Structure 1
Amino acid sequence: MKFSTATLLLAYASTTNAHGTITQPKVPKITTDLGGWRYMWFNQGSQIGCPVATGQNCGNGSPNGGNTPCCEEQFEPTLKDVEQLTYMSDKWWSAVQTADNSSTQSMLRGAAKVSPKDFASVTNTPLKRNPWLAPGHAPVVNSCGILGGWQYNSAQDYIAGPGDGYENLMNGTGGAVNSYMPPANLTIPAGTHGDVVLLEEINHRMQEAQGEQYTTNDNPRWKAGSVQNVSYSLSANHGGGFQWRVCPIEFLLNDTLDEGCFTALDFVGDESWFVYKNDNDNETQIIPFTPVRVSDANTNGVLPKGSTWTQIGLPACGDFATPDSNCDGPMFENEISKAGFWGGPEINSNSSTSPALFDIMEPLSARTDVHYTPFEIVDTIQVPKGMEGDYVLSWRWDSEQSPQVWTQCTIVTIEA
């Protein structure tokens, strides 16, 4: 098997927050024409210990500022091992330590020598509050995500949150919520909840059927007890980890769908796959890698209890927060980075030069300084025995670098 060795470079501003989407099974058809916004289903302003998500541009733990906690409540991380982290490079932590004294440094609580090799010192930084530090514990408003992270009053608020978020972003003392304002012609309004989109998809199918029998989705039918492939992709990489789970469709139909109705799906085996298109011949290439699993057995507790989470497999750029970042190394090493891939998925067209930063108002689709390598990360999951009928399938991604929980849903049919 041949691999491309072009490094996946982080070619967007370090203030841009994470984006991710389900690629398999299919997502609702009515979400696929949202352009770059099809990746933006998340809950903004969520940290461990907080009773609710706030929608605020708060405490992301980044060197670029925005470190006011999302809430006053305290909750200690449940991760225990540095290998469970995804933000691990010395350059990243050096940038955290030398950040502006009025913001990040004041939050370090005396941790003068932060090192990713010292887990205790890492968890004395603002990073300790972000969702991945205690998988499943951070609160969400909607288990299927919110388009743009929240329902804000102004389109500009989607860039960096309400209040003075945009001003802080422009003067370098705050981070972003989204990369740019929602386009004026979005078919689904920014701020729409993901479960509303699923209900609208079902309603469209009912109307189109004109009284005939119809299905709730276009996805293949899963056999109860079978093993199935699922996959996701990222349009920005802020680390952390994820879980797949299902909830009976009745909870969606009667408006009671929440975190409590979901059953976590078990991962199968100790192998995942980074799948991409080769730039030269457009052939599909596959890189097997060993995923990092996180559960009650190797932490101080995940939610739901007894479930398993998996670390994001693609390493981010190890120096992305530094002013002269050229993405010359990954946050951590695994089979993907050893094959020459990390960061992205945006790739700088000339790997010998530093990635160009772009105006925060400019959509990614309008940029000419990068090209894109389509990829997805594939896992296998176990469909529980005894299930039958239509289920909401949710992918929950707990971010490590930002105070965000990314959730997206689709519908699958399980047969006995």
Structure 2
Amino acid sequence: MARGRRSVLVFLCAFWFQMFQRAESHGSMYEPPSRNSQGMSLLAPTCPGGACQWYNQGCAIGCPEITGLQTGCEKPVEPSLKDGEDDELLQYKDDGYGNPTIDHPWRFPGKSPVADACGITAGYIEPEGQLDPPPGFSTGASGRELPKLLDQTVWVAGSVVEVAWAMAANHGGGYQYRLCPVNEELSEECFQKTPLEFVGEDQWIQFGNGYDPGNRIQIKARRVSGKKVVPENSTWTMNPIPGCAVTGGRARTKCSKPTFSAPADDRFWPYADGTSKGIFGYSGGYCFGNVTKKPSAACTLDEYKNASFDFGIVDRVKVPDLPEGDYVLSWRWDCEMTKQIWSNCADVTIKHSGKNTKPFSPINGCTACCTGICSKCKECREKKTGECASCWEPLPWWGGRDFWTPRAKAIQCLGREAEDGGPGKYMPGDPLEPAWSPGCSKCWASKDGCEKYTREFEGVIEKKSWGSWTFVTMVVLAVAAAVAGALLLVKSRR
């Protein structure tokens, strides 16, 4: 009986810790676009379509499985990244609540277990997890079961390609990209067989809301390899954006100092107290503390806009010499401040010849409407009652729970489209009402809207681009001038 009471007490203490010391670290892979986004643009690049809500929680180095809570196991392994020896790769000695980070995932990159290598909504199944699923999902959904995007990405074996991710909330740590054949079980074991090799010593912070390759700054990457990581001798890259030196900056805490030297120190970043140079901070997660415990954690719209990162982190990786076919790319971010691991999965087709998909090229964005959360609504365009009612109602963040403020507008499948039937518009700082639509009316109206679509290839001139047409015009004029000159020369010789 005493043992039973003790077990109940342990559970209640762990549950209390989970409910009131939640962590809001969130990030997403957005190049190539992930299954977790369902091809939606809302909150891109930091959390497209809610992709930043797919992760694993309760991850500690050397533990046999995750707990779903911010707790680990009794016997974690010794960290490979040690205080005093690897300080250039570390920034947090505690989690912001006074608890040591010595067994957190980044202390031994790749060593912590995950329950789903493509992420789980809200971190685990109820009653554990963080209870913060993205719109259209309940807590505990499996990322492995998400449909492939209709928008396809092609890579050529042996080539170098660009990949990118972005942060909705910053907890330090580092990341790796890995591949698994699509016809195999999408397990951590499969992905660990083929980690991708980072190319060069640099990486980029890319602006233009993360999608403009012409608007980026180059920085030196911090990488770690050898026996300090799993798989051994693979390479992990440290998150290059420093957090806040005091409590990480979450729950609307003042942030006037970075944990290490901030990149782009010639730029002003309007974060928190609005006085600091360089790019650092907690991103939009600054505004997502538990308002049940701390009502002042809620931000104004302007505060949310100023805190949100409007950039992505770009790396170059080498495509392995693999057989031609379809593969799943897993991006894994091992956090330092929390016992959390973020994971997204994307689909790529590997070929032995041809061209690579142009990075950051547009997608049609119809997956959510055709095979995802709004696919059931195609027959509801003229009906708003019964089973169709939910198609005309907002799908809220967090499953409707109100202990956090909303991350963005709610998603509504029908009734909130733009004038052309396409997706609505939203940027952090915009009003949260009305809801946002992925633009299903436009997808369904097109005969090819629900068909597979291969993204633009590198080196292909797009007729829709004014810049491309200018280039074509210049080429035509140059050829015409050359021909005219040749004719005049022949005529003069006669």
TM > 0.5 fold call: yes
Tell whether the 8 Å contact from 2:95 to 2:101 is kept in structure 1 after alignment: no
Please, which of 322, 336, 342 is the counterpart of residue 280 of structure 2?
342
Tell me if 1:127 matches 2:80.
Answer: no
For CA contacts below 8 A with separation 6 or more, give which structure has more relative contact order.
1
- Report the alpha carbon displacement of residue 30 of structure 1 after superposing the two structures with TM: 2.7
Pick closer, same or farther for the CA change 1:329–1:144 going to 2, 3 Å.
Answer: same
Counterpart residue identity of residue 268, structure 1: V
Tell whether the 8 Å contact from 2:96 to 2:247 is kept in structure 1 after alignment: no
Tell whether the 8 Å contact from 1:230 to 1:379 is kept in structure 2 after alignment: yes
- Report the alpha carbon displacement of residue 331 of structure 1 after superposing the two structures with TM: 0.9
Tell me if 1:359 matches 2:291.
Answer: yes
Tell whether the 8 Å contact from 2:326 to 2:350 is kept in structure 1 after alignment: yes
Task: Identify, as 1 or 2, the structure richer in strand.
Answer: 1
Corresponding position of 1:147? 121
- Report the alpha carbon displacement of residue 347 of structure 1 after superposing the two structures with TM: 9.8
Corresponding position of 2:33? 26
Corresponding position of 1:271? 202
Please, which of 146, 161, 166 is the counterpart of residue 228 of structure 1?
161
CA distance, structure 2, for counterparts of residue 324 and residue 392 of structure 1: 37
CA distance, structure 1, for counterparts of residue 24 and residue 349 of structure 2: 33
Corresponding position of 1:370? 304
Tell whether the 8 Å contact from 1:356 to 1:369 is kept in structure 2 after alignment: no
Please, which of 303, 309, 329 is the counterpart of residue 236 of structure 2?
309
- Report the alpha carbon displacement of residue 33 of structure 1 after superposing the two structures with TM: 7.3
Pick closer, same or farther for the CA change 1:386–1:303 going to 2, 3 Å.
Answer: same
Identity of aligned residues (%): 35
Corresponding position of 1:114? none
The answer to which of 364-373 and 144-153 deviates more is 364-373
TM-superposition CA deviations, 1:5-60 (whole Å, max 9, x none) = xxxxxxxx9953310001100113636378663211111101002100111232xx
In structure 1, stretches of 5+ residues that fail to align are 1-12, 59-69, 105-125, 162-176, 203-215, 349-354
Tell me if 1:241 matches 2:170.
Answer: no
- Report the alpha carbon displacement of residue 85 of structure 1 after superposing the two structures with TM: 3.0
The answer to which of 46-55 and 300-309 deviates more is 300-309
In structure 2, stretches of 5+ residues that fail to align are 1-19, 268-277, 353-494
Pick closer, same or farther for the CA change 1:85–1:360 going to 2, 3 Å.
Answer: farther
| TM-score, L = length of structure 1 | 0.65
CA distance, structure 1, for counterparts of residue 292 and residue 311 of structure 2: 24
CA distance, structure 1, for counterparts of residue 95 and residue 322 of structure 2: 51
Pick closer, same or farther for the CA change 1:270–1:217 going to 2, 3 Å.
Answer: farther
Corresponding position of 2:221? 291
Tell whether the 8 Å contact from 2:24 to 2:288 is kept in structure 1 after alignment: no
Corresponding position of 1:83? 87
RMSD: 3.3
- Report the alpha carbon displacement of residue 84 of structure 1 after superposing the two structures with TM: 4.2
Tell whether the 8 Å contact from 2:155 to 2:351 is kept in structure 1 after alignment: yes
Tell whether the 8 Å contact from 1:315 to 1:331 is kept in structure 2 after alignment: yes
TM-superposition CA deviations, 1:90-136 (whole Å, max 9, x none) = xx76976xx4xxxx4xxxxxxxxxxxxxxxxxxxxx21100000010
Corresponding position of 2:344? 408
- Report the alpha carbon displacement of residue 259 of structure 1 after superposing the two structures with TM: 1.4
Tell whether the 8 Å contact from 2:327 to 2:347 is kept in structure 1 after alignment: yes
CA distance, structure 1, for counterparts of residue 96 and residue 247 of structure 2: 10
Tell whether the 8 Å contact from 1:84 to 1:294 is kept in structure 2 after alignment: no
Counterpart residue identity of residue 303, structure 2: D
- Report the alpha carbon displacement of residue 393 of structure 1 after superposing the two structures with TM: 0.2
> Does the residue aligned with 1:128 lie in a helix, a strand or coil?
coil
Task: Identify, as 1 or 2, the structure richer in helix.
Answer: 2
- Report the alpha carbon displacement of residue 344 of structure 1 after superposing the two structures with TM: 3.2
Pick closer, same or farther for the CA change 1:237–1:324 going to 2, 3 Å.
Answer: closer
